[in-house]
Amino acid sequence: MGCRGPVSRPVKAAANSGAGHPPQPNRGRTDGWLPALEGLRAVAVLGVLLHHVSFLSGLTHSYGRAGGVLSRLDVGMAVFFALSGFLLYRPFARAAIQAQPQPPVRTYLWHRALRILPGYWAMAAVALTWLNIDYLRSLWDWAIPLLLVHIYEPLRLPVGMEQTWSLATESVFYLALPLIATLGRRMGGRTPLARARRQLTLGIALVLVGLAWNVFAHGPDSPLPQMSWLWLPAFLDWFGIGVMLAVLASWPPSTTSSPFLPHLGSDGSDRGEQDLWSGRPRGLRVLTFAPGTSWLIAGALLWIASTPIAGPRGLEPATPVESITEHVLFLLITWCVIAPLVGRGSGGVPRALLLQPLVRFLGRISYGIFLWHILAIEACFRLLGFTRMHSSFWALLTVTLALTIPAAAASYYLIERPTQQLRRLLERRASDRRARASSAVPVETPALQATTAGPAEQPALATRLVLSANPPGPQHEGGDRQEEQGRREHAE
């Protein structure tokens, strides 16, 4: 089954320097979390769910165009991969461009493990004991899916967990990201602009490597096993466009040069005071300043992908050209969907839709929807009398949503959010202990205290400022400011 699934601190807004025009707020990038991306998660995960329901109900194989479009909604996986690249690489990109210390790798990996594994293990426990217990004959049979290594030789995708191959791929990206960031820092650059350009070059290189791997892996004489299509190199281009957008969102402000068109803005038009998003060529600017147009382009590309040019709809083998065509179309769709939401523009209609409370709620529990929806479909077949490949699409979709959303909400509120809250509590206590230890200064005499208080307290003050500038906040919960910080941890 073609199972596909997944699973903000930008520069300041540029001022509008035109005479007589007041500065415009930069709604496209805030000082932290980008709320529209949470809504985009809902769109992506519902696309994946619709893709699977369409296939397993049999609608994908119908002759109507609706089946063709639904068969390509696994483009949601590309959106998830690019979002991961954007959200996870942005702190590394910002640190490299501003010549600041790199985020601690151990902390980053610990956060990733706590974000992904508890919910995944809860779902895996149900799927393995309910649907796969007869095939688990050894401890290693259990360990393979639990350790997310089930996409390697031999390929083992447990029943009810087929979509989690993408988690195995993404977990390797988590491990590789610090190495990618280190490579980006070593590319150097004397100025923030030079460092930003080299960081952008790194993102472009990832895209090219991913495309080259796909051409090689799908070639008729490729020595790679077919499962290599599921390995990280096959999706480096999708992660790479997220990395590129992370660099662009971290671009040093008040620069006059655009990497797309050097020296744009040096023509006396006062655009030199604006950041990269304003300094784009007109054809690229439309993606951020006309988000509706950008999404219409994405829709047109999805329509093209639904035709035979992108290969068969189901499990029939595609030719190398068809496979590459679909892959590139998904890459372009993903760029057109995400770029307007992280750029300088207001986001227009797409952002307004993504900020609706129901959409944001579904985005908040999107990880649980991704984890549990295949099990919900299996429950329809095994317990509720639905017939695989010969069921009503709308009936199967309705029951699947009715089972999946409560399970996803339970996963979020009972597993995911408590885990993040416990992590933040432990980190807050640890940071408080470090702050108290660093501020403890031995006092020998009042005179000595008066002469040494300034120099001795400065490091402690600096420590406290650093800690408060990057609080151990979450990234995915709630509606108030504290919970908005929580949602940042989920997105990362």
Q: How far apart are CA 465 and CA 292, in angstroms?
A: 41
Q: How far apart are CA 310 and CA 72, in angstroms?
A: 9
> What is the Cα 272 distance to its own chain's centre?
31
pLDDT per residue, tens digit, the chain (492 aa), is 444 433 333 333 333 333 344 434 334 333 457 889 999 999 999 999 999 999 999 999 887 888 899 999 999 999 999 999 999 999 999 999 999 999 999 999 999 999 999 999 999 999 999 999 998 999 999 999 999 999 987 778 899 999 999 999 999 999 999 999 999 999 988 899 999 999 999 999 999 999 999 999 988 888 888 788 899 999 999 999 999 999 988 888 755 444 443 433 333 333 433 445 554 445 555 556 678 888 999 999 999 999 999 989 888 888 999 999 999 999 999 999 999 888 765 568 888 999 999 999 999 999 999 999 999 999 999 999 899 999 999 999 999 999 999 999 999 999 999 999 999 998 898 888 888 888 865 555 444 444 444 433 333 333 332 333 333 333 333 333 334 444 444 444
> What is the Cα 109 distance to its own chain's centre?
15
> What pLDDT sits at residue 126?
97
Half-sphere exposure (Cβ direction) of 435: Cα atoms closer than 13 Å: 14
Kindly tell me the burial class for residue 298, based on how many C-beta atoms sit within 10 Å of its own C-beta (0-12, 13-18, 19 or more).
buried
- Max Cα separation, the chain? 89
> What pLDDT sits at residue 344?
63
Contact status, residue 102 vs residue 195, Cβ threshold 8 Å: no
**Which positions ≥6 away from 440 have C-beta within 8 Å?**
none
Q: How far apart are CA 371 and CA 368, in angstroms?
A: 5
